[in-house]
Structure 1
Amino acid sequence: MCTVSFIPKKDSFIITSNRDEHISRSPAYQPKTEIINGVKVVFPQDPKAGGTWFAINEKNVAVVLLNGAFENHKSTGNYKKSRGLVVLDIVSHNNPQAYLDEINLTNIEPFTVIVVQQNKLVELRWDGGDKFIKSLDSSECYIWSSTTLYNKVVIKNREELFLKFLDNSVINTASIVDFHSNNHQDFQNGFIIDRASGLKTFSVTQVVLEKEKISLKHIDLLDNNTNMIELPVNQLMNQI
């Protein structure tokens, strides 16, 4: 939920996410399949609130969360719903991208969410008072960093590392995971962090969206365990 990249390939989209948390937080449950609002959804679950930072559904939709919107904010610690549950609300909706316009986020902690649906890429930022929804070109590559953990200078540096990676590497699922699994000689602000404050990268999750199927790979860095789930696309439900 703290670093997300989006890379289009000829016949697929690859979305990869790093989850950074404090070591006092319980590790997430391994990815599971659940029916929510009549839709088959796959997601790794946060045991604290029951939500998630990364979810896919059988209609070839992916929803990915980052903490914070445009800048770091002070948490009140008293919100009506976890941001991770908002992710499940979105991914289980009949039309997730259209739902972004309707969803009431009053008293939800600021966040950024990326929604990929039928070759369309949309970014929503909620700053605690207003929603900012932007359609992005799904033929381009993007990277996002959580504003709660990384300042503007660091975010810019991470973007530059990403561009160098795109220019100098063979781009495939394995090389992208390797990029996300590298501290880039900086345990404070690299893609794998291990800060003295107790903040640490817990996992790397990657989804490949193809026309007929979605593949999810979840790498738990705490117990060195990898879990993979393949979800066939339901072509009948995919007609939105």
Structure 2
Amino acid sequence: MCTVSYLPFQDGFILTSSRDEKLTRPPAKLSDPVLYHDQEITFPRDPLGQGSWIATSKTRTVCLLNGAFTAHNPKPPYRHSRGLVVLHAFDYFTIHHFASEYDFGGLEPFTLLLIEDGQLLTLRWTGDQLFKTEKDASRPRIWSSATLYTPEIITRRELWFSQWLHSASGQCLEGIRAFHKTAGEADPENAVCMRRGNQFATVSLTSVVRSDEQTEMIYEDLIRSELTFRKLNQTYVSN
């Protein structure tokens, strides 16, 4: 599942995740802030695995994509849901402590993006080996799940993103969310907002907006047309 874009700006960033999922999966809901080791985090909670694919505090943002480098054949049972790894990342003092100390054994392959203190860390777990890469946090980026998209399609999506970056729409929250909803729409099975018959579709769109002043999460259920916001201790819902 998932297509994730990262847009840095002078004092922060926008991270946006399109969640691709089975249409039969129960819908997630954006949580009220939860206290983890003296820090509040918020995230859309998956009712099946009880984890999430994206979570944020005031200082740390974690985002998950299924698969590592290439598509894999699932070999259950696994130790627990990959979505719990997102929440477990907040148990550690820094993202680097998490990367070096967490036990990834027995988990299905995934890619994890971790942002903290101007650092962007990418972890890819193949099921046997962990690959850790520090990225330049000053550059925009896009990632696509290896389980749903071939290398050719991933490259095509990177081109769409590059073209959008050079377009007149501007690198803002409204612009990047519009990109996630419309890019590649001529190819619905591989568009950023995708649909494959009655089985898979992009079911939600989540953005984390962080600046020196505040952190906000915007969660949009695309199936039910509901927007939910979390900004520090302030919450509201718009239908």
Matches within 5 A, 1:189-200: 189-196=190-197, 198-200=199-201
1:216 lines up with 2:217 in the alignment:
yes
Look up the match of 1:63: 62
Q: Return the alpha-carbon distance in structure 2 between the equivalents of residues 117 and 88 of structure 1.
A: 15
Q: Return the alpha-carbon distance in structure 2 between the equivalents of residues 61 and 145 of structure 1.
A: 21
* 1:116, distance to aligned residue in structure 2 (A): 0.5
Mark the runs of 5 or more structure 2 residues left unpaired by the alignment.
234-239
What amino acid is aligned across from residue 106 of structure 1 in structure 2? G
Spell out, residue by residue over 1:66-104, the C-alpha distance to the aligned partner (whole angstroms, 9 max, x if none): 000000001113101111001100034221332111111
Look up the match of 2:202: 201
Look up the match of 1:146: 145
Q: Return the alpha-carbon distance in structure 2 between the equivalents of residues 97 and 81 of structure 1.
A: 22
Q: In structure 2, do the counterparts of structure 1 residues 69 and 197 end up closer, same or farther at CA, with 3 Å as the change threshold?
A: farther
SS in 2 for 1:147: coil
Q: Return the alpha-carbon distance in structure 2 between the equivalents of residues 31 and 63 of structure 1.
A: 15
Q: Return the alpha-carbon distance in structure 1 between the equivalents of residues 76 and 213 of structure 2.
A: 41
Spell out, residue by residue over 1:31-58, the C-alpha distance to the aligned partner (whole angstroms, 9 max, x if none): 3211134431100100001000000013
What amino acid is aligned across from residue 179 of structure 1 in structure 2? F
What amino acid is aligned across from residue 227 of structure 1 in structure 2? T
Count of aligned pairs between the two proteins: 231
Look up the match of 1:231: 232
Mark the runs of 5 or more structure 1 residues left unpaired by the alignment.
233-240
Spell out, residue by residue over 1:105-155, the C-alpha distance to the aligned partner (whole angstroms, 9 max, x if none): 001000000000011110000000010000000110110000000000000
Q: Return the alpha-carbon distance in structure 1 between the equivalents of residues 149 and 198 of structure 2.
A: 14
The answer to whether the 8 Å contact 1:31/1:218 transfers is: no
More deviation, 110-119/181-190: 181-190
Look up the match of 1:82: 81
Q: Return the alpha-carbon distance in structure 1 between the equivalents of residues 45 and 230 of structure 2.
A: 14
Q: Return the alpha-carbon distance in structure 2 between the equivalents of residues 223 and 178 of structure 1.
A: 18
Q: Return the alpha-carbon distance in structure 2 between the equivalents of residues 32 and 43 of structure 1.
A: 8
Q: Return the alpha-carbon distance in structure 1 between the equivalents of residues 57 and 92 of structure 2.
A: 10
Identity percentage over the alignment? 35
Spell out, residue by residue over 1:180-235, the C-alpha distance to the aligned partner (whole angstroms, 9 max, x if none): 01152121000111102510111000011112311110111011000111128xxx
More deviation, 37-46/80-89: 37-46
Look up the match of 2:108: 109
TM-score after normalising by structure 2: 0.93
Look up the match of 1:98: 97
SS in 2 for 1:116: strand
Aligned-CA RMSD value: 1.3
Look up the match of 2:156: 157
Look up the match of 1:235: none
Look up the match of 2:236: none
TM-score after normalising by structure 1: 0.93
